[in-house]
Structures are given as structure tokens and as C-alpha cells.
């Protein structure tokens, strides 16, 4: 079965179970090798890259739909999630399926709700579904080199802006870093998101005064030099800081 037939099959099913005209597109950010990445899928059909979006079931809360979409399309659960924008231009999506006729579910006009998600790439086992031929974390600076469908590039940019604003108000890291991490990894994450370098000593003090870290009795061995201490987040204080907000960086 070729990719076009597969889409047609999906279309009929979709008409029955999903609300028309509404889609949700999660921009899932991950942090690895000192860089920010976005999870994207490449469709069999037309070989273009897309956010792992999906639709809302007729009998399902929108919030639940997004959780399900993340799970089904990217194999991700328990990610941090937040709505950050709505994309509703009238020709934003219809053109993509130009070789299908108007009855195709996917070819409707869609208003898409953008969700920002944070997740640690090393926790993911990437599974491409049957309409995708690839599922990958793409570094932010590689986005320019791939062919992105519809307005998904614009969606990612808005998500990134939101992330940047967010980090000056709320702590970020819990969903992006592994259980155990070093201070310089955390600092690098902040530097990457903010797009500027931070002073190590000041970062050390500030993050420590927040009280959101727990120093572990372990070190990361095997590096070329002194073994750095490992930390993890103190969940209670982290969540308290999430509620109360922080100051600026």
C-alpha cells in the first residue's frame, strides 16, 4: 500500500472519530549534547517534516487529546505541557494535500492549537508510525536545512519565543534533563534557551538559593578531569517555584 492510499484509509476513520477543523500541534523540546532539539516526523507522502500533531476525539477533552497525541505519535508520556498559541489562517494547511480531493479529512481547513512540551530525548524510544518514514529529534540550528510543511516552522518559532519568556518566570529543567545531572549541564541548558552566556559563579549561587536542587552523593566519573557532583531536582521545592514564579535571569 502506498502512502496515498494509506492516507485515504485514515481519512475515513478520522471523519468518524475526530472533530473536524481542529488540530493540535505539540512542539516538543529536548536537550541533548548541549543543544536544544525539536521532535519531528517526516511523512511518507511528500517527504516533508511535520510536528507530531493530531486531532481531538469527539468525546474527549482537549487536554486529554494532547496527552494522547504525544503518547501515540511520539511515545512520550508525562511531559510538561502548555498551550502557547493558536494558528488559524485560512490557507495554512489545506494546500499540503493538494493531490487529494476535497473529501479528504486531512484536507479540511484546520485551526491548530500549539502546545509547548518539554522532554528528555534520552527517555524516548522513537517510533515512526505508518504514515511517517522518520521520527527524529532535530537540533534547532538544523531546522533551516530540512523541508518543513505548512506553517510548522512558524509554529516552532513562536514556541521558542514562549519558552524563552517562560524561563525568566518559571524554573525549567525538570522535564528536559535526566534524573541526575551536573550543574554545568543545567547551566548550559539555561544558556541555550536564553541564547546568551551566564556567569558560572552567579549561576551557581542563584540556582542554589532557589532551593530547587538536591545534591546527590554521587559524581559523574570517567571524564577527563575532576568528577563533577550530580544533582537532581527537589520535587517539592521545584513545584513550589513553578507556582510562585521566579525573578529574572
Distance from C-alpha of 91 to C-alpha of 106, rounded to nearest angstrom: 13
Contact with a second copy (CB under 8 A) among 60, 94, 151, 191:
60
Binder among 2, 33, 86, 102 for a second copy (CB under 8 A): 86
Report, in Å, the least distance between residue 101 CB and a second copy.
Answer: 18
Please say which residue, 20 or 178, places its beta carbon nearer to a second copy. 20
- Is there binding between residue 183 and DNA (CB under 7 A)? yes
Among the listed ranges 21-29, 56-64, 102-110, 194-202, the one in contact with DNA (CB under 7 A) is 194-202
Q: Which stretch binds DNA (CB under 7 A): 2-10, 102-110, 173-181, 226-234?
A: 226-234
What are all long-range contacts of 69-78, with beta carbons under 8 Å and residues at least 24 apart? 69/24, 69/26, 70/26, 70/28, 70/117, 72/129, 73/41, 73/129, 74/26, 74/28, 74/39, 74/124, 74/126, 74/135, 75/124, 75/125, 75/126, 75/127, 76/28, 76/39, 76/117, 76/119, 76/124, 78/175
> What value, to the nearest 5°, has the Cα angle with vertex 75 and ends 73 and 214?
135
Name the binder of 85 from a second copy, DNA, none, CB < 5-8 A by kind: a second copy
Query: Which one of 8, 111, 140, 246 is in contact with a second copy (CB under 8 A)?
Result: 111
**Cα 7 to Cα 1, 60, 142, 195, 199, distances in angstroms:** 10, 23, 28, 40, 51
User: Which entry of DNA, a second copy, none binds 83, CB below 5 to 8 A by partner kind?
Assistant: a second copy
Q: Does 20 bind DNA (CB under 7 A)?
A: no
- Binding region for a second copy (CB under 8 A): 19-22, 56, 58-63, 65, 83, 85-90, 109, 111, 113, 165, 169, 248
Amino acid at each position: 500500500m502506498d502512502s496515498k492510499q494509506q492516507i485515504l484509509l485514515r481519512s475515513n476513520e478520522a471523519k468518524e472519530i475526530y472533530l473536524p477543523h481542529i488540530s493540535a500541534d505539540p512542539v516538543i523540546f529536548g536537550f541533548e549534547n548541549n543543544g536544544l532539539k525539536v521532535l519531528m516526523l517526516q511523512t511518507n507522502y511528500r517527504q516533508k517534516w511535520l510536528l507530531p500533531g493530531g486531532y481531538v476525539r469527539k468525546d474527549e477533552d482537549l487536554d486529554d487529546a494532547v496527552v494522547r497525541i504525544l503518547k501515540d505519535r511520539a511515545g512520550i508520556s508525562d511531559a510538561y505541557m502548555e498551550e502557547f498559541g493558536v494558528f488559524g489562517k485560512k490557507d495554512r494547511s489545506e494546500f499540503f494535500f493538494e493531490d487529494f480531493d476535497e473529501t479528504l479529512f486531512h484536507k479540511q481547513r484546520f485551526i491548530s492549537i500549539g502546545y509547548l512540551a518539554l522532554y528528555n530525548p534520552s527517555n524516548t524510544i522513537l517510533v515512526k508510525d505508518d504514515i511517517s518514514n522518520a521520527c527524529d529529534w532535530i537540533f534547532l540550528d538544523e531546522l533551516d536545512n530540512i523541508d518543513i510543511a505548512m506553517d510548522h516552522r512558524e509554529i516552532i518559532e513562536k514556541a521558542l519565543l514562549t519558552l524563552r519568556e517562560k524561563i525568566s518566570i518559571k524554573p525549567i529543567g525538570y522535564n528536559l534533563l535526566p534524573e541526575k545531572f551536573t550543574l554545568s549541564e543545567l547551566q548550559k541548558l539555561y544558556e541555550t534557551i536564553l541564547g546568551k552566556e551566564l556567569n558560572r559563579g552567579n549561576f551557581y549561587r542563584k540556582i542554589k538559593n532557589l532551593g530547587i536542587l538536591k545534591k546527590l552523593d554521587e559524581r559523574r566519573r570517567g571524564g577527563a578531569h575532576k568528577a563533577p557532583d550530580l544533582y537532581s531536582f527537589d520535587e517539592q521545592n521545584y513545584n513550589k517555584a513553578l507556582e510562585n514564579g521566579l525573578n529574572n535571569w
